[in-house]
Chain A
Amino acid sequence: MSADFLYGIEVVLNGLMAGVLYALVALGFVLIFKASGIFNFAQGVMALFAALTLVGIMEGQVPFAHLINAVFGTNIHHFGWQVPAILAIFLTVLVMIAFAWAVQHFVFRHLVGQEPIILFMATIGLAYFLEGVGDLMWGSSIRTLALGLPQGGSLWVEEMTNGLGGDDFYGFFIDKLDMVATLVALVLVAGLVAFAQYTKQGRAMRAVADDHQAALSVGISLSYIWVLVWSLAGIVALVAGVMWGAKSGVQFSLSLIALKALPVLMLGGFTSIPGAIVGGMIIGVGEKLFEYTIGAPYLGGATENWFAYMLALVFLVFRPQGLFGERIIERV
Protein backbone atom coordinates (compact mmCIF):
# COMPACT_ATOMS: atom_id res chain seq x y z
CA MET A 1 0.00 0.00 0.00
CA SER A 2 1.29 3.44 -0.84
CA ALA A 3 2.03 5.87 1.95
CA ASP A 4 -0.27 8.50 0.40
CA PHE A 5 -3.18 6.13 0.51
CA LEU A 6 -2.47 5.19 4.10
CA TYR A 7 -2.24 8.83 5.11
CA GLY A 8 -5.58 9.24 3.41
CA ILE A 9 -6.94 6.57 5.70
CA GLU A 10 -5.46 8.34 8.67
CA VAL A 11 -7.25 11.49 7.61
CA VAL A 12 -10.50 9.55 7.44
CA LEU A 13 -9.94 8.09 10.91
CA ASN A 14 -9.24 11.51 12.38
CA GLY A 15 -12.25 12.88 10.57
CA LEU A 16 -14.43 10.19 12.10
CA MET A 17 -13.29 11.17 15.54
CA ALA A 18 -13.85 14.87 14.98
CA GLY A 19 -17.25 13.83 13.65
CA VAL A 20 -18.08 12.20 16.97
CA LEU A 21 -18.06 15.60 18.65
CA TYR A 22 -20.21 17.17 15.98
CA ALA A 23 -22.56 14.24 16.33
CA LEU A 24 -22.78 14.71 20.10
CA VAL A 25 -23.78 18.32 19.78
CA ALA A 26 -26.25 17.49 17.03
CA LEU A 27 -27.69 14.76 19.23
CA GLY A 28 -28.56 17.34 21.87
CA PHE A 29 -30.46 19.31 19.25
CA VAL A 30 -32.32 16.27 17.98
CA LEU A 31 -33.47 15.15 21.44
CA ILE A 32 -35.18 18.45 22.15
CA PHE A 33 -36.44 19.02 18.64
CA LYS A 34 -38.06 15.61 18.37
CA ALA A 35 -39.90 15.88 21.67
CA SER A 36 -41.00 19.48 21.53
CA GLY A 37 -40.42 20.93 18.07
CA ILE A 38 -38.10 23.48 19.63
CA PHE A 39 -34.90 24.22 17.78
CA ASN A 40 -32.60 24.88 20.70
CA PHE A 41 -30.15 27.58 19.75
CA ALA A 42 -28.72 27.37 23.27
CA GLN A 43 -27.32 23.85 22.85
CA GLY A 44 -23.77 25.13 22.26
CA VAL A 45 -23.91 27.50 25.21
CA MET A 46 -25.21 24.63 27.33
CA ALA A 47 -22.04 22.71 26.44
CA LEU A 48 -19.95 25.70 27.50
CA PHE A 49 -21.95 26.22 30.68
CA ALA A 50 -21.72 22.55 31.62
CA ALA A 51 -17.97 22.48 31.09
CA LEU A 52 -17.51 25.72 33.06
CA THR A 53 -19.59 24.33 35.89
CA LEU A 54 -17.59 21.13 35.94
CA VAL A 55 -14.27 22.98 36.09
CA GLY A 56 -15.61 25.41 38.68
CA ILE A 57 -16.85 22.65 40.96
CA MET A 58 -13.68 20.61 40.60
CA GLU A 59 -11.49 23.56 41.48
CA GLY A 60 -13.65 24.45 44.46
CA GLN A 61 -14.49 27.83 43.00
CA VAL A 62 -17.20 29.86 44.74
CA PRO A 63 -20.06 30.41 42.29
CA PHE A 64 -21.13 34.04 41.81
CA ALA A 65 -17.99 35.08 43.68
CA HIS A 66 -17.89 38.54 42.05
CA LEU A 67 -21.47 39.20 42.90
CA ILE A 68 -21.13 38.00 46.46
CA ASN A 69 -17.99 40.04 47.01
CA ALA A 70 -19.54 43.17 45.51
CA VAL A 71 -22.65 42.91 47.65
CA PHE A 72 -21.14 41.84 50.94
CA GLY A 73 -17.73 43.45 50.60
CA THR A 74 -16.07 40.08 51.09
CA ASN A 75 -13.14 38.75 49.17
CA ILE A 76 -13.77 35.07 48.63
CA HIS A 77 -13.01 33.12 45.49
CA HIS A 78 -12.31 29.57 46.50
CA PHE A 79 -13.64 27.21 49.06
CA GLY A 80 -10.15 25.88 49.41
CA TRP A 81 -10.99 22.32 48.47
CA GLN A 82 -10.75 20.20 45.35
CA VAL A 83 -13.64 18.04 44.34
CA PRO A 84 -12.88 14.64 42.79
CA ALA A 85 -13.85 14.40 39.11
CA ILE A 86 -16.54 11.75 39.60
CA LEU A 87 -18.34 13.74 42.28
CA ALA A 88 -17.97 16.94 40.26
CA ILE A 89 -19.49 15.27 37.21
CA PHE A 90 -22.40 14.06 39.31
CA LEU A 91 -22.96 17.55 40.72
CA THR A 92 -22.75 19.09 37.27
CA VAL A 93 -25.39 16.68 36.03
CA LEU A 94 -27.61 17.84 38.90
CA VAL A 95 -27.01 21.44 37.87
CA MET A 96 -28.00 20.61 34.27
CA ILE A 97 -31.18 18.92 35.50
CA ALA A 98 -32.02 21.98 37.59
CA PHE A 99 -31.39 24.10 34.52
CA ALA A 100 -33.73 21.90 32.47
CA TRP A 101 -36.43 22.25 35.09
CA ALA A 102 -35.99 26.03 35.21
CA VAL A 103 -36.17 26.32 31.43
CA GLN A 104 -39.44 24.43 31.35
CA HIS A 105 -40.92 26.10 34.41
CA PHE A 106 -40.01 29.71 33.69
CA VAL A 107 -39.93 29.82 29.90
CA PHE A 108 -41.54 27.11 27.82
CA ARG A 109 -44.44 26.37 30.12
CA HIS A 110 -45.70 29.82 29.20
CA LEU A 111 -45.14 29.33 25.49
CA VAL A 112 -47.12 26.14 24.87
CA GLY A 113 -48.84 26.26 21.51
CA GLN A 114 -46.79 29.18 20.19
CA GLU A 115 -45.36 29.34 16.70
CA PRO A 116 -42.01 27.55 16.21
CA ILE A 117 -40.33 30.84 15.37
CA ILE A 118 -41.33 32.24 18.78
CA LEU A 119 -39.95 29.17 20.53
CA PHE A 120 -36.76 29.55 18.52
CA MET A 121 -36.45 33.19 19.53
CA ALA A 122 -36.91 32.15 23.14
CA THR A 123 -33.95 29.78 22.84
CA ILE A 124 -31.81 32.61 21.41
CA GLY A 125 -32.69 34.64 24.47
CA LEU A 126 -31.93 31.64 26.60
CA ALA A 127 -28.52 31.20 24.94
CA TYR A 128 -27.40 34.73 25.78
CA PHE A 129 -28.92 34.55 29.23
CA LEU A 130 -27.10 31.32 29.99
CA GLU A 131 -23.88 32.76 28.65
CA GLY A 132 -24.29 35.65 31.07
CA VAL A 133 -25.09 33.37 33.96
CA GLY A 134 -22.07 31.21 33.18
CA ASP A 135 -19.92 34.33 33.19
CA LEU A 136 -21.37 35.56 36.46
CA MET A 137 -21.08 32.20 38.15
CA TRP A 138 -17.64 31.12 37.08
CA GLY A 139 -15.89 34.11 35.50
CA SER A 140 -14.82 34.52 31.90
CA SER A 141 -11.20 33.43 31.85
CA ILE A 142 -10.07 30.50 29.76
CA ARG A 143 -9.95 27.37 31.91
CA THR A 144 -8.12 24.14 31.51
CA LEU A 145 -10.00 21.00 32.21
CA ALA A 146 -7.86 18.61 34.23
CA LEU A 147 -9.90 15.44 34.10
CA GLY A 148 -6.77 13.41 33.60
CA LEU A 149 -7.86 12.20 30.21
CA PRO A 150 -5.02 10.80 28.10
CA GLN A 151 -3.79 13.14 25.42
CA GLY A 152 -1.34 13.20 22.52
CA GLY A 153 -0.73 10.67 19.77
CA SER A 154 -1.17 7.05 20.61
CA LEU A 155 2.20 5.36 20.34
CA TRP A 156 0.57 1.99 20.44
CA VAL A 157 -1.47 2.65 17.31
CA GLU A 158 1.56 4.12 15.61
CA GLU A 159 3.70 1.09 16.34
CA MET A 160 1.00 -1.38 15.43
CA THR A 161 0.51 0.18 12.03
CA ASN A 162 3.89 1.45 10.91
CA GLY A 163 4.72 -1.74 9.12
CA LEU A 164 1.84 -1.28 6.70
CA GLY A 165 3.25 1.14 4.16
CA GLY A 166 6.97 0.75 3.62
CA ASP A 167 9.65 3.30 4.50
CA ASP A 168 7.62 6.48 3.90
CA PHE A 169 4.89 5.53 6.32
CA TYR A 170 5.36 5.85 10.04
CA GLY A 171 2.06 4.47 11.27
CA PHE A 172 -1.26 6.16 11.97
CA PHE A 173 -1.25 9.20 14.20
CA ILE A 174 -4.35 9.14 16.33
CA ASP A 175 -4.94 11.38 19.31
CA LYS A 176 -5.69 9.43 22.47
CA LEU A 177 -8.20 12.04 23.54
CA ASP A 178 -10.11 11.47 20.33
CA MET A 179 -10.15 7.77 21.04
CA VAL A 180 -11.50 8.37 24.53
CA ALA A 181 -14.09 10.81 23.17
CA THR A 182 -15.24 8.25 20.66
CA LEU A 183 -15.54 5.61 23.34
CA VAL A 184 -17.47 7.90 25.68
CA ALA A 185 -19.76 8.99 22.86
CA LEU A 186 -20.46 5.37 21.98
CA VAL A 187 -21.34 4.54 25.57
CA LEU A 188 -23.53 7.62 25.79
CA VAL A 189 -25.42 6.83 22.60
CA ALA A 190 -25.85 3.19 23.62
CA GLY A 191 -27.15 4.37 26.97
CA LEU A 192 -29.59 6.78 25.38
CA VAL A 193 -30.88 4.14 23.01
CA ALA A 194 -31.34 1.66 25.85
CA PHE A 195 -33.10 4.32 27.89
CA ALA A 196 -35.48 5.18 25.05
CA GLN A 197 -36.21 1.54 24.26
CA TYR A 198 -36.44 -0.15 27.61
CA THR A 199 -37.56 2.28 30.29
CA LYS A 200 -41.04 3.55 30.87
CA GLN A 201 -39.80 7.14 30.63
CA GLY A 202 -38.07 6.29 27.37
CA ARG A 203 -41.27 4.89 25.96
CA ALA A 204 -43.13 7.99 27.10
CA MET A 205 -40.44 10.12 25.49
CA ARG A 206 -40.84 8.36 22.16
CA ALA A 207 -44.60 8.71 22.47
CA VAL A 208 -44.35 12.45 23.00
CA ALA A 209 -41.98 12.77 20.05
CA ASP A 210 -44.56 10.98 17.92
CA ASP A 211 -47.87 12.60 18.87
CA HIS A 212 -48.60 15.06 21.69
CA GLN A 213 -52.34 14.52 21.73
CA ALA A 214 -52.07 10.76 21.88
CA ALA A 215 -49.39 11.03 24.56
CA LEU A 216 -51.66 13.14 26.74
CA SER A 217 -54.47 10.67 26.31
CA VAL A 218 -52.42 7.83 27.79
CA GLY A 219 -51.53 9.90 30.83
CA ILE A 220 -48.14 11.34 29.90
CA SER A 221 -47.34 14.78 31.28
CA LEU A 222 -45.73 16.73 28.46
CA SER A 223 -43.91 19.11 30.78
CA TYR A 224 -42.35 16.19 32.64
CA ILE A 225 -41.06 14.75 29.38
CA TRP A 226 -39.75 18.15 28.30
CA VAL A 227 -37.80 18.52 31.52
CA LEU A 228 -36.48 15.02 30.86
CA VAL A 229 -35.30 15.75 27.31
CA TRP A 230 -33.73 19.05 28.33
CA SER A 231 -31.93 17.17 31.09
CA LEU A 232 -30.69 14.57 28.63
CA ALA A 233 -29.64 17.32 26.23
CA GLY A 234 -27.82 18.92 29.17
CA ILE A 235 -25.96 15.69 29.87
CA VAL A 236 -25.07 15.32 26.21
CA ALA A 237 -23.90 18.95 26.27
CA LEU A 238 -21.74 18.18 29.29
CA VAL A 239 -20.04 15.31 27.50
CA ALA A 240 -19.51 17.39 24.37
CA GLY A 241 -18.27 20.31 26.45
CA VAL A 242 -15.82 18.13 28.35
CA MET A 243 -14.40 16.55 25.21
CA TRP A 244 -14.07 19.80 23.38
CA GLY A 245 -12.85 21.61 26.46
CA ALA A 246 -10.17 19.00 27.13
CA LYS A 247 -8.91 19.61 23.60
CA SER A 248 -8.85 23.35 23.38
CA GLY A 249 -9.62 24.68 26.85
CA VAL A 250 -12.94 25.71 28.28
CA GLN A 251 -13.61 29.07 26.75
CA PHE A 252 -16.23 31.04 24.97
CA SER A 253 -15.46 29.61 21.52
CA LEU A 254 -16.88 26.34 22.81
CA SER A 255 -20.38 27.68 22.40
CA LEU A 256 -19.67 28.06 18.70
CA ILE A 257 -19.50 24.31 18.15
CA ALA A 258 -23.27 24.59 18.00
CA LEU A 259 -22.77 26.20 14.61
CA LYS A 260 -20.90 23.12 13.44
CA ALA A 261 -23.89 21.04 14.42
CA LEU A 262 -26.10 22.91 11.98
CA PRO A 263 -24.71 21.34 8.80
CA VAL A 264 -24.77 18.00 10.60
CA LEU A 265 -28.48 18.43 11.23
CA MET A 266 -29.15 19.47 7.66
CA LEU A 267 -27.42 16.34 6.55
CA GLY A 268 -28.86 13.95 9.09
CA GLY A 269 -32.31 15.41 9.49
CA PHE A 270 -33.55 17.26 12.54
CA THR A 271 -35.54 14.37 13.96
CA SER A 272 -33.20 11.43 13.55
CA ILE A 273 -30.75 10.19 16.16
CA PRO A 274 -28.95 7.87 13.71
CA GLY A 275 -29.01 10.83 11.33
CA ALA A 276 -27.17 13.02 13.84
CA ILE A 277 -24.53 10.36 14.31
CA VAL A 278 -24.01 9.50 10.65
CA GLY A 279 -24.27 13.17 9.70
CA GLY A 280 -21.58 14.04 12.22
CA MET A 281 -19.29 11.38 10.78
CA ILE A 282 -19.87 12.49 7.20
CA ILE A 283 -19.12 16.11 8.05
CA GLY A 284 -16.08 15.15 10.11
CA VAL A 285 -14.62 12.88 7.46
CA GLY A 286 -15.74 15.08 4.58
CA GLU A 287 -14.06 18.23 5.79
CA LYS A 288 -10.79 16.50 6.71
CA LEU A 289 -10.65 14.59 3.47
CA PHE A 290 -11.50 17.63 1.38
CA GLU A 291 -8.81 19.62 3.11
CA TYR A 292 -6.28 16.82 2.55
CA THR A 293 -7.05 16.09 -1.09
CA ILE A 294 -8.16 19.45 -2.52
CA GLY A 295 -8.16 22.19 0.09
CA ALA A 296 -4.54 22.19 1.17
CA PRO A 297 -2.93 21.41 -2.19
CA TYR A 298 -5.06 23.67 -4.42
CA LEU A 299 -7.14 26.13 -2.41
CA GLY A 300 -4.65 27.44 0.11
CA GLY A 301 -6.06 25.43 3.01
CA ALA A 302 -8.43 26.34 5.84
CA THR A 303 -11.34 24.86 3.93
CA GLU A 304 -12.59 23.23 7.14
CA ASN A 305 -14.19 26.55 8.06
CA TRP A 306 -16.71 26.44 5.27
CA PHE A 307 -16.72 22.98 3.70
CA ALA A 308 -19.35 21.57 6.07
CA TYR A 309 -21.81 24.32 5.23
CA MET A 310 -21.28 23.95 1.52
CA LEU A 311 -21.77 20.20 1.72
CA ALA A 312 -24.95 20.72 3.73
CA LEU A 313 -26.20 23.26 1.22
CA VAL A 314 -25.67 20.91 -1.71
CA PHE A 315 -27.39 18.22 0.28
CA LEU A 316 -30.27 20.47 1.17
CA VAL A 317 -30.99 21.10 -2.49
CA PHE A 318 -31.29 17.39 -3.28
CA ARG A 319 -32.71 15.97 -0.10
CA PRO A 320 -34.27 18.63 2.09
CA GLN A 321 -35.49 16.22 4.75
CA GLY A 322 -31.94 15.00 5.40
CA LEU A 323 -30.58 11.48 5.25
CA PHE A 324 -32.94 9.94 7.78
CA GLY A 325 -35.43 12.73 8.37
CA GLU A 326 -39.06 12.06 7.68
CA ARG A 327 -40.17 13.09 4.26
CA ILE A 328 -42.35 16.15 4.49
CA ILE A 329 -45.32 15.77 2.23
CA GLU A 330 -47.81 18.55 2.27
CA ARG A 331 -51.29 17.09 1.98
CA VAL A 332 -53.71 19.34 0.19
Chain B
Amino acid sequence: MDGVAPYVTADGRQIGGVLMDMRGITLRFGGVEAIKNISFDIREGEIRAIIGPNGAGKSSMLNVISGFYHPQDGEVWFRGEKRKPMKPYQVARLGIARTFQNIALFEGMSVLDNIMTGRLTHMKTGLLAQAIWKGRAEAEEVANREIVEKVIDFLEIQAIRKTPVGRLPYGLKKRVELARALAAEPKLLLLDEPMAGMNVEEKEDMSRFILDVNDEFGTTIALIEHDMGVVMDLSDRVVVMDYGRKIGDGTPDEVRNNQEVIDAYLGVAHE
Protein backbone atom coordinates (compact mmCIF):
# COMPACT_ATOMS: atom_id res chain seq x y z
CA MET B 1 0.00 0.00 0.00
CA ASP B 2 1.10 3.59 -0.53
CA GLY B 3 2.55 5.51 2.37
CA VAL B 4 0.46 8.14 4.14
CA ALA B 5 2.43 11.07 2.78
CA PRO B 6 0.34 13.37 0.60
CA TYR B 7 1.04 13.10 -3.10
CA VAL B 8 -0.21 14.38 -6.42
CA THR B 9 -1.72 11.98 -8.92
CA ALA B 10 -0.68 11.71 -12.55
CA ASP B 11 -3.69 13.85 -13.53
CA GLY B 12 -2.74 16.48 -10.99
CA ARG B 13 -5.18 15.82 -8.13
CA GLN B 14 -4.06 16.24 -4.53
CA ILE B 15 -4.29 13.10 -2.36
CA GLY B 16 -4.02 13.80 1.36
CA GLY B 17 -3.80 11.78 4.55
CA VAL B 18 -6.14 9.06 5.76
CA LEU B 19 -9.73 10.29 6.04
CA MET B 20 -11.50 7.07 6.94
CA ASP B 21 -9.83 4.08 8.49
CA MET B 22 -11.63 0.77 8.90
CA ARG B 23 -9.80 -1.50 11.32
CA GLY B 24 -10.56 -5.19 11.69
CA ILE B 25 -14.25 -4.91 10.82
CA THR B 26 -16.33 -8.04 11.35
CA LEU B 27 -20.06 -8.07 10.69
CA ARG B 28 -22.39 -11.02 11.24
CA PHE B 29 -26.05 -11.64 10.46
CA GLY B 30 -26.96 -14.61 12.60
CA GLY B 31 -24.68 -17.30 11.29
CA VAL B 32 -23.65 -15.44 8.13
CA GLU B 33 -20.38 -13.55 8.33
CA ALA B 34 -20.88 -10.79 5.81
CA ILE B 35 -17.56 -9.10 6.62
CA LYS B 36 -14.61 -11.00 8.03
CA ASN B 37 -11.97 -8.95 9.82
CA ILE B 38 -11.39 -6.42 7.05
CA SER B 39 -9.13 -3.38 7.33
CA PHE B 40 -8.67 -0.68 4.74
CA ASP B 41 -8.45 3.08 4.56
CA ILE B 42 -9.74 5.87 2.37
CA ARG B 43 -7.48 8.84 1.80
CA GLU B 44 -8.52 12.42 1.45
CA GLY B 45 -9.26 13.36 -2.13
CA GLU B 46 -9.11 9.90 -3.63
CA ILE B 47 -11.62 7.78 -5.46
CA ARG B 48 -11.66 4.43 -3.75
CA ALA B 49 -13.47 1.51 -5.34
CA ILE B 50 -14.84 -1.55 -3.58
CA ILE B 51 -15.36 -4.46 -5.91
CA GLY B 52 -16.20 -8.13 -5.63
CA PRO B 53 -18.68 -10.75 -6.82
CA ASN B 54 -22.34 -10.73 -5.73
CA GLY B 55 -22.83 -11.22 -2.01
CA ALA B 56 -19.19 -10.40 -1.25
CA GLY B 57 -20.21 -7.92 1.45
CA LYS B 58 -19.58 -4.66 -0.40
CA SER B 59 -22.89 -3.01 0.44
CA SER B 60 -22.57 -4.25 4.00
CA MET B 61 -19.24 -2.44 4.23
CA LEU B 62 -20.80 0.79 2.98
CA ASN B 63 -23.61 0.33 5.48
CA VAL B 64 -21.07 -0.01 8.27
CA ILE B 65 -19.40 3.23 7.21
CA SER B 66 -22.73 5.06 7.03
CA GLY B 67 -24.03 3.69 10.32
CA PHE B 68 -26.86 1.54 8.94
CA TYR B 69 -25.09 -1.63 10.16
CA HIS B 70 -23.10 -1.99 13.35
CA PRO B 71 -20.13 -4.34 13.24
CA GLN B 72 -19.65 -6.90 16.01
CA ASP B 73 -15.97 -6.26 15.95
CA GLY B 74 -13.54 -3.65 14.72
CA GLU B 75 -13.07 0.09 14.84
CA VAL B 76 -14.10 2.90 12.52
CA TRP B 77 -11.76 5.90 12.50
CA PHE B 78 -12.83 9.12 10.83
CA ARG B 79 -10.57 12.16 10.53
CA GLY B 80 -8.13 10.74 13.03
CA GLU B 81 -10.74 9.98 15.67
CA LYS B 82 -12.25 6.69 16.70
CA ARG B 83 -15.96 6.86 16.02
CA LYS B 84 -18.35 5.59 18.65
CA PRO B 85 -21.31 3.53 17.37
CA MET B 86 -23.54 5.98 15.54
CA LYS B 87 -26.98 6.13 14.02
CA PRO B 88 -27.14 6.82 10.28
CA TYR B 89 -28.43 10.36 10.81
CA GLN B 90 -25.49 11.13 13.06
CA VAL B 91 -23.06 9.83 10.46
CA ALA B 92 -24.73 12.02 7.87
CA ARG B 93 -24.18 15.01 10.13
CA LEU B 94 -20.46 14.22 10.21
CA GLY B 95 -20.38 15.00 6.50
CA ILE B 96 -20.75 11.52 5.05
CA ALA B 97 -23.38 11.32 2.32
CA ARG B 98 -24.45 8.26 0.40
CA THR B 99 -26.58 6.73 -2.31
CA PHE B 100 -28.19 3.31 -2.24
CA GLN B 101 -27.93 0.27 -4.48
CA ASN B 102 -31.73 0.18 -4.74
CA ILE B 103 -32.24 3.96 -4.86
CA ALA B 104 -33.84 5.51 -1.81
CA LEU B 105 -35.50 8.75 -2.87
CA PHE B 106 -38.59 10.55 -1.65
CA GLU B 107 -40.82 9.38 -4.47
CA GLY B 108 -43.70 11.68 -3.66
CA MET B 109 -41.60 14.83 -3.57
CA SER B 110 -40.28 16.90 -6.45
CA VAL B 111 -36.68 16.66 -7.65
CA LEU B 112 -35.97 20.06 -6.13
CA ASP B 113 -37.46 19.10 -2.75
CA ASN B 114 -35.52 15.85 -2.77
CA ILE B 115 -32.27 17.67 -3.33
CA MET B 116 -33.19 20.29 -0.73
CA THR B 117 -33.39 17.54 1.90
CA GLY B 118 -29.68 17.09 1.28
CA ARG B 119 -29.21 20.53 2.85
CA LEU B 120 -30.99 19.64 6.10
CA THR B 121 -27.74 18.96 7.92
CA HIS B 122 -26.65 22.52 7.12
CA MET B 123 -29.81 24.26 8.29
CA LYS B 124 -29.25 25.63 11.74
CA THR B 125 -32.30 27.76 12.45
CA GLY B 126 -34.47 25.98 15.02
CA LEU B 127 -38.22 25.51 14.97
CA LEU B 128 -39.04 28.41 17.27
CA ALA B 129 -36.46 30.69 15.68
CA GLN B 130 -38.09 30.06 12.32
CA ALA B 131 -41.42 31.21 13.67
CA ILE B 132 -39.99 34.26 15.41
CA TRP B 133 -37.37 35.47 12.94
CA LYS B 134 -39.03 34.68 9.67
CA GLY B 135 -36.35 36.66 7.86
CA ARG B 136 -33.51 34.54 9.16
CA ALA B 137 -35.19 31.33 8.06
CA GLU B 138 -35.83 32.83 4.65
CA ALA B 139 -32.24 33.95 4.25
CA GLU B 140 -31.08 30.46 5.15
CA GLU B 141 -33.52 28.94 2.69
CA VAL B 142 -32.27 31.23 -0.08
CA ALA B 143 -28.62 30.40 0.62
CA ASN B 144 -29.40 26.71 0.55
CA ARG B 145 -31.42 27.05 -2.61
CA GLU B 146 -28.40 28.60 -4.30
CA ILE B 147 -26.23 25.61 -3.51
CA VAL B 148 -28.96 23.25 -4.65
CA GLU B 149 -29.31 25.14 -7.93
CA LYS B 150 -25.58 24.79 -8.48
CA VAL B 151 -25.81 21.05 -7.97
CA ILE B 152 -28.74 20.91 -10.38
CA ASP B 153 -26.75 22.78 -13.02
CA PHE B 154 -23.71 20.64 -12.38
CA LEU B 155 -25.61 17.38 -12.93
CA GLU B 156 -27.59 18.83 -15.84
CA ILE B 157 -31.04 18.12 -14.45
CA GLN B 158 -32.57 21.61 -14.81
CA ALA B 159 -35.33 20.26 -17.02
CA ILE B 160 -36.77 17.98 -14.35
CA ARG B 161 -36.49 20.24 -11.31
CA LYS B 162 -40.22 20.29 -10.61
CA THR B 163 -41.00 16.71 -11.61
CA PRO B 164 -42.14 14.32 -8.89
CA VAL B 165 -39.34 11.80 -8.52
CA GLY B 166 -41.74 8.86 -8.76
CA ARG B 167 -42.29 9.68 -12.44
CA LEU B 168 -38.64 9.68 -13.47
CA PRO B 169 -36.95 6.88 -15.37
CA TYR B 170 -34.35 4.80 -13.53
CA GLY B 171 -31.25 6.51 -14.86
CA LEU B 172 -32.44 9.96 -13.86
CA LYS B 173 -33.42 8.73 -10.42
CA LYS B 174 -29.85 7.61 -9.90
CA ARG B 175 -28.72 11.06 -10.90
CA VAL B 176 -31.15 12.79 -8.53
CA GLU B 177 -29.95 10.58 -5.72
CA LEU B 178 -26.41 11.67 -6.45
CA ALA B 179 -27.57 15.28 -6.51
CA ARG B 180 -29.16 14.94 -3.08
CA ALA B 181 -25.92 13.50 -1.69
CA LEU B 182 -23.87 16.27 -3.31
CA ALA B 183 -26.13 18.98 -1.94
CA ALA B 184 -24.87 18.00 1.51
CA GLU B 185 -21.37 19.08 0.41
CA PRO B 186 -19.99 15.93 1.99
CA LYS B 187 -16.43 15.25 3.08
CA LEU B 188 -16.93 11.66 2.05
CA LEU B 189 -19.33 10.47 -0.61
CA LEU B 190 -20.40 6.81 -0.64
CA LEU B 191 -21.88 5.47 -3.89
CA ASP B 192 -23.37 1.97 -4.00
CA GLU B 193 -23.37 0.89 -7.65
CA PRO B 194 -24.11 4.34 -9.12
CA MET B 195 -24.14 2.93 -12.64
CA ALA B 196 -26.00 -0.32 -12.16
CA GLY B 197 -28.71 -0.84 -14.76
CA MET B 198 -27.63 2.09 -16.92
CA ASN B 199 -26.97 2.06 -20.64
CA VAL B 200 -23.54 2.92 -22.03
CA GLU B 201 -24.32 6.58 -22.56
CA GLU B 202 -25.74 7.01 -19.07
CA LYS B 203 -22.70 5.27 -17.63
CA GLU B 204 -20.40 7.66 -19.43
CA ASP B 205 -22.32 10.64 -18.08
CA MET B 206 -22.22 9.25 -14.56
CA SER B 207 -18.49 8.51 -14.77
CA ARG B 208 -17.87 12.06 -15.90
CA PHE B 209 -19.93 13.46 -13.01
CA ILE B 210 -18.06 11.36 -10.47
CA LEU B 211 -14.70 12.46 -11.82
CA ASP B 212 -15.81 16.10 -11.92
CA VAL B 213 -17.11 16.02 -8.35
CA ASN B 214 -13.80 14.63 -7.17
CA ASP B 215 -11.79 17.01 -9.28
CA GLU B 216 -13.69 20.25 -8.80
CA PHE B 217 -14.77 19.94 -5.17
CA GLY B 218 -12.01 17.64 -3.95
CA THR B 219 -14.67 15.31 -2.54
CA THR B 220 -13.41 11.96 -1.35
CA ILE B 221 -15.41 9.17 -2.94
CA ALA B 222 -15.87 5.51 -2.11
CA LEU B 223 -17.80 3.60 -4.71
CA ILE B 224 -18.99 0.10 -5.35
CA GLU B 225 -19.10 -0.92 -8.98
CA HIS B 226 -19.33 -4.11 -11.01
CA ASP B 227 -18.23 -2.73 -14.35
CA MET B 228 -14.48 -3.38 -14.39
CA GLY B 229 -13.77 -0.91 -17.15
CA VAL B 230 -15.40 1.86 -15.16
CA VAL B 231 -13.57 0.90 -11.98
CA MET B 232 -10.20 0.84 -13.68
CA ASP B 233 -10.85 4.23 -15.28
CA LEU B 234 -12.17 6.02 -12.23
CA SER B 235 -10.44 4.79 -9.16
CA ASP B 236 -7.12 5.58 -7.55
CA ARG B 237 -7.19 2.47 -5.38
CA VAL B 238 -9.36 -0.62 -5.23
CA VAL B 239 -10.40 -2.96 -2.40
CA VAL B 240 -11.46 -6.40 -3.57
CA MET B 241 -13.84 -8.46 -1.45
CA ASP B 242 -14.94 -12.03 -1.83
CA TYR B 243 -17.16 -13.98 0.59
CA GLY B 244 -16.68 -11.31 3.23
CA ARG B 245 -12.87 -11.41 3.04
CA LYS B 246 -10.52 -8.84 1.60
CA ILE B 247 -8.54 -10.52 -1.16
CA GLY B 248 -6.90 -7.53 -2.76
CA ASP B 249 -6.08 -3.89 -2.14
CA GLY B 250 -4.08 -1.53 -4.33
CA THR B 251 -3.99 0.44 -7.54
CA PRO B 252 -6.15 -0.84 -10.40
CA ASP B 253 -3.06 -2.30 -12.04
CA GLU B 254 -1.92 -4.12 -8.93
CA VAL B 255 -5.37 -5.53 -8.35
CA ARG B 256 -5.80 -6.59 -11.94
CA ASN B 257 -2.68 -8.72 -11.76
CA ASN B 258 -3.46 -10.24 -8.35
CA GLN B 259 -3.92 -14.00 -8.78
CA GLU B 260 -6.48 -14.34 -5.98
CA VAL B 261 -8.58 -11.62 -7.54
CA ILE B 262 -8.41 -13.22 -10.93
CA ASP B 263 -9.49 -16.53 -9.41
CA ALA B 264 -12.42 -14.96 -7.59
CA TYR B 265 -13.66 -13.38 -10.78
CA LEU B 266 -13.16 -16.49 -12.86
CA GLY B 267 -15.02 -18.48 -10.23
CA VAL B 268 -12.20 -20.77 -9.16
CA ALA B 269 -13.45 -23.09 -6.41
CA HIS B 270 -12.72 -22.01 -2.85
CA GLU B 271 -10.70 -24.38 -0.78
Contact = CB atoms under 8 A, between A and B. Distances in A.
Interface of A: 199-201, 203-204, 206-207, 209-211, 213-222
A216 B89 contact: yes
**Quick one: which of A203, A210, A216, A217 has the most chain B CB within 10 A?**
A217
Given A218-B92, A222-B89, A204 B117 contact: yes
12 contacts: A200-B130, A201-B127, A210-B109, A211-B107, A213-B104, A214-B105, A215-B89, A216-B87, A217-B88, A217-B104, A220-B120, A221-B89
Contact residues of A: prevailing secondary structure: helix
Nearest to B115: A218
A204 B109 CA distance: 11
Nearest to B88: A216
Interface residues of B, number: 30
A75 to B, nearest CB: 40
Most buried by A among B90, B123, B137: B123
Nearest to A217: B98
A214 B68 CA distance: 11
B186 to A, nearest CB: 10
Which of B98, B116, B120, B137 gathers most chain A CB within 10 Å? B120
Given A203-B116, A213-B100, A218 B107 contact: no
B105 A220 contact: no
Contacts of A210: 106-109
A207 B89 contact: no
Given A217-B100, A218-B121, A206 B92 contact: no
Which residue of B68, B89, B180 has the most chain A CB atoms within 10 A of its CB atom? B89
9 smallest beta-carbon distances between A and B, as pairs: A219-B92, A214-B104, A210-B106, A216-B88, A219-B121, A200-B123, A213-B104, A218-B117, A221-B89
A216 B68 contact: yes
A221 B105 CA distance: 17
A66 to B, nearest CB: 36
A287 B123 CA distance: 47
